[in-house]
Amino acid sequence: MKEELLNYLKERGPAQVDQVAQDLGLAAAKDFSQLIKAISALESQGKIRFGNDGTIGIKEAKKKKAAVTVQGIFRANKAGFGFVTVDSDEDDMFVGRNDVNYAIDGDVVEVEVIKVADRLKGMGAEARVVNIVERSLKTVVGKFIMDDDKPKYIGYIKSKNQKISQPIYIRKEPVVLDGTEVIKVDIEKYPTKHHDYFVGAVRDIIGHVDDAGIDVLEVLESMDIVSEFPEKVLEEVNKVPEVPSDKDYLGRLDLRQEITFTIDGADAKDLDDAVHIKRLDNGNFELGVHIADVSYYVTEGSELDKEALRRGTSVYVTDRVVPMLPERLSNGICSLNPNVDRLTQSALMEITPQGKVVNYQIGQSVIKTTFRMTYSAVNEILAGDEELAEQYRAIVPSIEAMAELHEILEAMRVRRGALNFDTSEAKIIVNDKGFPVDIQVRQRGVAERMIESFMLAANECVAEHFAKAKLPFIYRIHEEPKSEKLQKFMDFASLFGVQVQGTASKISQSALQDFMRRVEGQPGGEVLSMMLLRSMQQARYSEHNHGHYGLAAEFYTHFTSPIRRYPDLLVHRLIRDYSRAGQDQVAHFEAVIPEIASQASSLERRAIDAERVVEAMKKAEYMQEHVGEEFDGIVSSVVKFGLFVELPNTIEGLIHVTTLPEYYDYNERNLTLKGEKSGTVFSVGQAIRVKLVKADKETGDIDFEFLPSDVDTIEKVAKSGKRGRGRGKASASHSSKEKDTKSNKKGHKSKRGQDKQDQPKAYKKKGGKPFYKDVAKKGAKHGQGTRKRRRAK
């Protein structure tokens, strides 16, 4: 009757109840009574309404306000939640695990804001994913696992990407697989509410599980970092001549008479920068920075150019390089090898003894280097090695002048406020099978820092030239740190007794320099420097010049590495095209530079992620041979779920709170863990002795166990004695672990990184026995990964 009544009102419109009863044949007393009940029920359900004139009619649903949605890039956390970046100038929006809506890391998504940011309370905005605009994941790489549980599929793979938890099932097809392969698949179906897995088709067999180096290759391929170049690109690069012709020299400044040489690592093959120096009669220096003219061979819109843009940057991992350009170009005609003519773009700068550039010339040139020098050889010459000085006597005066100019430029940067984040960087030594045999800390001598000084000077000079010319350009920017992050850092530093002058909203770079000077060499000093570094923003590329905060540079770009970075290649193209076409190219570059800057920044982050994942994997693989051994380290960070401990060789591992001998309270403000019973405190920068209990190559996780030292035991005995007077005896040593575990009623397996909302209560009763509820899922290690000198430069 309800359905009949609704259909009637939809067709006829509002009507009196008597008329409805008449038309529907429900005028009899019994039928009329049922009609009234139906009308009453439909009214209470909000489906019909009574008009002022006593008629009944369909109740129109109120039109909901259309939700305001925005598009952004989704960044997943392996714990299930994520963040959406809408604008690089705004904070990311948090997306809870229930609001992800099957979005995958890197997807372009449409989100609805469900909670606006409250800056006063320090609360960020929250959103839910309502639509997936574009999928980022098109291919997946992994070890193939035979499985016949699902009749439609022959098996599945698990991605190396820990942010993808679902399996990728492989549909049955002619490819013969036996379970030893590492394969690449094209994604055909994505997870939905109907099936929580991917479906893919085999594209290629990458290798087999026992192949040397397959582990690194699997990581790279899983991030779509591919070594092989397309056939069209190789055909194009094969047409590039091996030596320049007379035609190539036209319009170039001839600098072949200058004493020019390269200084690189001993294993470098793509020598893309060379330098020369002269002392001028007026007391100034002439510094020439000469960079391989890659853009002369990689023309805009060519197959080479499109592939270089798609890659964005060369990727360096342990024992291999995935180059941006084919080796025939990068190691051949574009490599500044000694005693051969090479086409370059040069920045010739006249620099005063105070480090100021007072005159410069930027443009195409041709050079001939005299020597291929290594950092170690130059460092040894500067240290007084007479034999090497005799071998390279033709350039020793140049090397000495360069060292002097380097000190001038470094002092100039310090005066203006540049911050020096020279943190430890690991060098992983692997054997011919790709197995790590040693992990060392990279050393940086005068030669390394000297070349860096010269490259910085050239980058600044080129950026300033184009900024003042007001032409469309690509800049390398590093914006001021956000006040919230700086405030958190300043609060933390004060706990070490180190005050930072200024406020979070207004702090000078000189104040931060002063802070770094005061903590250098002090206990926890390196950790404090790293904490300051983490409070900085990430450097990126932009069409707008916002300066470089870390370098205290008003103008900055990347000009010096066009073989391995696309933005540098673009800068070279801009120099050439503006010098030839002038204003005719303005509109074109104004249109293309913003997209290139955004893409280059994204691809740089991908390369950093790949390097971090491979380094973590190789460090864990190295440590697998040392399980059970003891090490001295320092607490590098303290989080709710435990302590991260860094060893002198940069290896970092976790002591989970669940492995400690008692319950520890976490203090978020001062980043400490304090034992409820003993009062023992763990804090950042603290020396600590640990035992390696687990190293997992697949995840890159390293787990330590805390070992109390003699000092720890003495302190605990003293504290226990004070507390024990009149109240019975307290445990005297952390080493009686079994007793402590029993007395504190806790014992459970170690798990990593917990989401805040999943943090357990201290204890919980179950079945009459107390236990510690640990619902943590494996999470991202706080502060784990490659300690680069920050690509901020």
Q: Walk me through the domains of the chain, giving residue ranges and CATH numbers.
A: 2-58 (1.10.10.10), 69-134 (2.40.50.140), 139-211 (2.40.50.700), 235-479+537-616 (no CATH), 627-771 (2.40.50.140)
Number of H helices and number of E strands within the chain?
A: 18, 35
pLDDT computed for residue 204 by the predictor: 87
Place of tokens 């491979």: 614
Mean pLDDT along residues 70-80 = 88
pLDDT digit string, tens, across residues 372-422: 999 999 999 999 999 999 999 999 999 999 999 999 999 999 999 999 877
pLDDT computed for residue 716 by the predictor: 47
Q: Is the pLDDT of residue 47 over 90?
A: no
CB 377 within 8 A of CB 389: no
pLDDT computed for residue 712 by the predictor: 52
DSSP string, 619-652: HHHHHGGGTT-EEEEEEEEEETTEEEEE-TTS-E
pLDDT computed for residue 685 by the predictor: 83
pLDDT digit string, tens, across residues 553-607: 999 999 999 999 999 999 999 999 998 876 778 999 999 999 999 999 999 999 9
Angstrom distance (rounded) from CA 293 to CA 244: 12
Place of tokens 């013969």: 176
Query: Which residue stretches of 45-119 are H helix?
Result: none
Exposure of 323 in the CB half-sphere (CA atoms within 13 A):
16
pLDDT computed for residue 544 by the predictor: 95
Place of tokens 């060369």: 314
Residues 6+ apart with CB under 8 A from 287: 275, 276, 277, 348, 349, 351, 405, 454, 457
CB 640 within 8 A of CB 759: yes
CB 217 within 8 A of CB 207: yes
DSSP strands (E only) in 219-319: 253-254, 261-264, 273-279, 285-292, 315-317
CB 479 within 8 A of CB 549: yes
**Model-level pTM greater than 0.75?**
yes
Structure tokens at 417: 């406020």
pLDDT computed for residue 438 by the predictor: 93
Residue predicted with more confidence, 265 or 528: 265
Angstrom distance (rounded) from CA 707 to CA 237: 58
CB 170 within 8 A of CB 153: yes
Q: Is the pLDDT of residue 332 over 80?
A: yes
Average pLDDT, the chain: 84
CB 229 within 8 A of CB 307: yes
Q: How many residues does the chain have?
A: 793
Alpha-carbon distance values, 140 to 151, 320, 669, 697 (Å)? 22, 21, 41, 20
Host H or E run for residue 451: helix 446-469
pLDDT-based confidence at 194, cuts 50/70/90? confident
pLDDT computed for residue 777 by the predictor: 32
Q: Is the pLDDT of residue 8 over 50?
A: yes
DSSP letter assigned to residue 583: G
Place of tokens 């099957």: 102
Angstrom distance (rounded) from CA 198 to CA 189: 6
pLDDT computed for residue 525 by the predictor: 75
Residue predicted with more confidence, 295 or 756: 295
pLDDT computed for residue 723 by the predictor: 42
pLDDT digit string, tens, across residues 467-504: 999 999 999 999 988 888 888 888 878 777 788 888 87
Exposure of 565 in the CB half-sphere (CA atoms within 13 A):
22
Structure tokens at 28: 């009899």
Least reliable range by pLDDT among 39-43, 346-350, 655-659: 39-43
pLDDT computed for residue 644 by the predictor: 94
pLDDT computed for residue 360 by the predictor: 97
pLDDT-based confidence at 319, cuts 50/70/90? confident
pLDDT digit string, tens, across residues 697-721: 988 999 999 998 654 544 444 444 4
Q: Is the pLDDT of residue 282 over 90?
A: yes
